[in-house]
Amino acid sequence: MTEAVRFKGVSRHFGEVRAVDAVDMVVGEGEFFAMLGPSGSGKTTCLRLIAGFERPTAGQIDIFGESSANVPPYKRHVNTVFQDYALFPHLNVLDNVAYGLMIAGMGKRERHHLAEEALELVALPGYGSRKPSALSGGQRQRVALARALVNKPKVLLLDEPLGALDLKLREQMQEELKALQRQLGITFVFVTHDQGEALSMGDRVAVFNEGRIAQVGPPEEIYFRPQVPFVAEFVGSSNLFDPALMERLSGIAEYATVRPEAVRVHPNGSTQGHPAKVTSTSFLGTSSRVVMNLDGTRLTALLPKGADIPEPGATVIATWEAADLHIMNGAVVGAAGEAHNG
């Protein structure tokens, strides 16, 4: 696999703030790479570093094997879809899409032809003569995508492109983006704070926390085998057990997680397990959620349809298969703990 982007110990500090702190990562060619994290975790700064809007305080970024240290944004074969789309209000849709080609010196007829093709690609044929202000949010998003893609970038950067869309449109665009990426084979680097989006779209996901990558890997690995408590907490609603609780439960003083759907609930005294007190229950349609207090720690179980739902306040026995209890690697936990405090 060819490397599209490689970060070598890249840092970007704004005064005292370490927005990006000694990040190493590799994005492969043709990969859909999702960067996931809460706001202020450094994921957007990483994207801006690739685009060239920010310059690293330390370290080096290689784009297709070449150092980008002294390459300004307008000389990088990288295009960005901005969070606010940043369409030019004084140009119509066709001229917006054709902007990059116009700058590159392409003739009017040719660039308008290519721009029209790009608009067809994003399912907006015939919208060229409209002004961006006359479009809906979803349509603007597609125009921004067409404007980036028409330049045939080696890497397409997407900065929370679906953030401003409503849920239904967002789900539709997620699938379209994924299909488009497969069709074009361009490397996509996608920034989002929505874990569902990152997991469903990314070939690989990098979870950012406080300027560092907490974990990087395929979505299943991130979801089922989080290496650090932060990832377990941020990605989905996993139950997180701290070392003190784990020591009491199983004698292993390590962080551990268990997925809510792996937790079973039994009436008190009916079986061997961990006694817990039910604090609340809620009906979710295909399943029911039971929140319990396990020795001072919040424990959530997702019970399938038809299971007996205990009353709030009742004491129950919670069990799970040993295989479902994922014990985290101690060394990584320590490092993440430092990042947490710093």
Partner 1 sequence: MADLAVRSASKEASPTWLERVSDAFWRRPGLLLAVLLAPPLLWLGVVYLGSLFALLAHSFFSIDEFSGVIVYEFTLSTYAELFAPAHIDIIVRTVTMAICVTIAAAIIAFPIAYYAARYAKGRWKALFYLGVMLPLWSSYLVKVYSWKLILAREGILNWLFETLHLTWLLEAYLAIPLIGGNSLSVSSTGTFLVFVYVWLPFMILPIQAALERVPVTMLEASSDLGAAPAQTLRHVLLPLALPGIVAGSIFTFSLTLGDYIIPQIVGSSRRFIGQAVYAYQGTAGNIPLAAAFAVIPIIIMAIYLWLAKRKGAFDAL
Residue with tokens 């370490």, as numbered in its chain = 18
Nearer to partner 1, 87 or 318 (CB): 87
User: Contact positions toward partner 1, by CB under 8 A?
Assistant: 51-53, 72-75, 78-80, 82-84, 86-90, 99-100, 102-104, 147-148, 151
Least Å distance, CB 201 to partner 1, is 22
Extended strands (E) in 193-273: 204-209, 212-217, 239-241, 256-258, 264-267
Q: Whole-angstrom Cα distance, residue 41 to residue 210?
A: 5
Q: Whole-angstrom Cα distance, residue 44 to residue 37?
A: 9
Nearer to partner 1, 74 or 286 (CB): 74
Cα→Cα distances 261→33, 283, 319, 325, Å: 28, 14, 11, 12
Here the contacts of 176-180 (C-beta below 8 Å, separation 24 or greater) are 176/123, 177/145, 177/201, 178/32, 180/121, 180/122, 180/145, 180/149
Least Å distance, CB 58 to partner 1, is 23
Helices (runs of H) and strands (runs of E) counted in the chain: 11, 18
Least Å distance, CB 7 to partner 1, is 19
Least Å distance, CB 191 to partner 1, is 14
Least Å distance, CB 312 to partner 1, is 42
| Cβ–Cβ < 8 Å for 151, 98 | no
